[in-house]
A = this chain, B = another copy of it.
Amino acid sequence: MQLKYIYDGTAYTVNLTQPTNLLTLLRQENVPINAICNGNGTCGKCRVRCLGNAPEPTSNDRQALNKNELAKGWRLACSVEVNHDLEIECPPTNLKMDILTDFTKQTHSIEPLVQSHTIALNEADTDDQRDDWTRIKDALPVEAAEIDFSILPTLHDRLYSAFEKDNGKLQIDTYKNLVVAVHPVSEAKAPLGLAIDIGSTTVAAYLHDLTDGKLLEVAGITNPQRKFGADVISRISYTMDHPAGTLELQKEIVAAINKLIESICQPEDRGTIREIVITGNTVMIHFLLNLPTKNIASAPFVPVFLSPITLDAQDIGLKLNAKLTIMPGIASYVGADITAGIVACKLTEGERWSLLLDLGTNGEIVLGCKDECLACATAAGPAFEGATIRHGCSATSGAICNVNFSADPIYRTIDDKTPNGICGSGVLDIAAQLLLHGLIDETGRLLDSSEVQDQNLASRLRDINGYKELVLFGNLSDPQAITFTQKDIREIQLAKAAIRAGIEILLDEVKLNYDDIENLYIAGGFGNYLNITSAATIGLIPMELKDRTVTVGNSAGTGASHYLLSKEIRNKSQSIIPITQYIELSNRIDFMDAYMDAMLFDI
């Protein structure tokens, strides 16, 4: 039998010898399909459209898709067994992203571990029989210089080519005391560096000139591990169910980073990348290094490794001859990405305390000042990235990113495109607007249209088989309309309650109140669109801190860039670890209490 699938405008054919699950097949084919629940049939995200010959809908199909969709051939890939010739179409994905880069300008000096030196040498003669390497070493202003073994074989030719055409002038790039590149000056280029943040959902890369620190390019890519589950726990489960699972996940992320490098850097410049700094949550770093994660998933939540480590990029299959440094992490659920965030927001540099919320696929909270730092993680879930929301999507082109029920239209989309979903900032706005306009009560119950005063808004409410929802875009009768559902409201309540409870616990731990806080930084994929008033309105952050709140975009990426560019920041990052206390929230009665309190809305 044969599967034909159309993806991104191109048709592909796969021949099969035995019946195979469609999701499994598409994963093998590297189609970036969403499968948040890892194929359990519960998330309803792995939709594909059968072009004729669609199989009978399963009960999972019926739960996730409406009649109209089913009739049009939409099915969940995880529910389809390919046991006959089948032709399908996969929904497009849009990897263009909005990555905030302008926050937290560098205030430290640019002093990366990679340095360029220009030296001039004389040729050997019988009075000066020094070997090529000693000749270079003696001229190099670097103490106890050593040479990377891999560049030894070309050393001689580079040196003699400098004698031939550059009067013996060479550019020598060093990494600490190690010579990593030797070029005649006329062939030399400025050394480049890459900072990479591996998020559960998105991988972002920042290309810098290491001589002046300038940001040359930014690029992002969806983390292809999403095929194995949206959150870290589903991916850990995958590795526990599959003996080679960790290796598989490592290969996925390494291939993605290789792609990212290709997109961010011209082929002729790739050889000039001398260092990569990688940050990410602890699980992402474990997968990158092919380390087992099973102990991260269950108490006492112990990772294999949190230290910083430097290796050769090639050691893990990256196609670069560069040093690769992994930033240090704090705990299983407060990873190197949070260390990077602390660095970017200078959380451990102030006399006064500040807060950092990183709302990614997980939600991490840090409270810190120059002497002390506390961090916790909450299972906030990926609601703020739109993932568990019925029409949720990433903050990409066409996503509803701002909502104001008093405006017309009531929404704004990224790039002003026709709406195709709701991203995190839109989700926050909708929840806030529902509250402000009295469409939900303090328990989060969506009112019936008959209970709503504003007729315009009341007309947007509908009830489909007992499931209430608000139509944002599309006709009231259109089953394809983009809506916000009662269940979506519940997801937001759970997520904001967890974050808020985390904030309260941390403040309580050091007996602070809101007045003691200098700043509250919100990091995450929200980009420029996050409305801080909405966040305060729904109680995600304390209303008292609204005016001291700053959105900082991807602080992990910013921190990784700073780490790449400054020895001073590198040392500071390391000094964060011993002063940071990780607060385990699970099983804490006071956290449970605060969580229940924060579940309600303030009206």
What residues of chain A have their CB less than 8 Å away from a CB belonging to chain B? 124-126, 128-134, 137, 146-147, 149-150, 152-153, 155-157, 289-292, 295, 299-307, 309, 311, 315, 331-332, 582, 584, 587
Contacts and interface: CB of A to CB of B under 8 A. Distances in A.
A134 B292 contact: no
Given A124-B300, A300-B129, A307 B134 contact: yes
Contacts of A304: 131-133, 152, 155-156
Nearest to A145: B307
28 contacts: A124-B295, A129-B301, A129-B331, A129-B584, A131-B304, A131-B306, A131-B307, A132-B303, A132-B304, A133-B305, A133-B307, A134-B306, A134-B307, A146-B307, A147-B305, A147-B307, A149-B289, A152-B289, A152-B291, A152-B305, A152-B309, A153-B289, A153-B290, A153-B292, A155-B291, A155-B304, A156-B304, A157-B292
A581 B141 CA distance: 25
A154 to B, nearest CB: 9
Contacts of A292: 153, 156-157
A248 to B, nearest CB: 14
A292 B161 CA distance: 14
Given A131-B303, A132-B304, A155-B304, 4 more contacts: A124-B302, A126-B300, A131-B302, A152-B289
Ranked nearest first, the 3 interchain pairs of A and B with the lowest CB-CB distance are A124-B302, A149-B311, A131-B303
A138 to B, nearest CB: 12
A304 B128 CA distance: 14
A450 to B, nearest CB: 51
A192 to B, nearest CB: 23
A370 to B, nearest CB: 24
Contacts of A301: 129
A302 B582 contact: no
Contacts of A129: 300-302, 331-332, 582, 584
Contacts of A152: 289-291, 304-305, 309
A161 B157 CA distance: 51
Contacts of A302: 124, 129-132
A178 B299 CA distance: 30
Nearest to A315: B149
Contacts of A150: 315
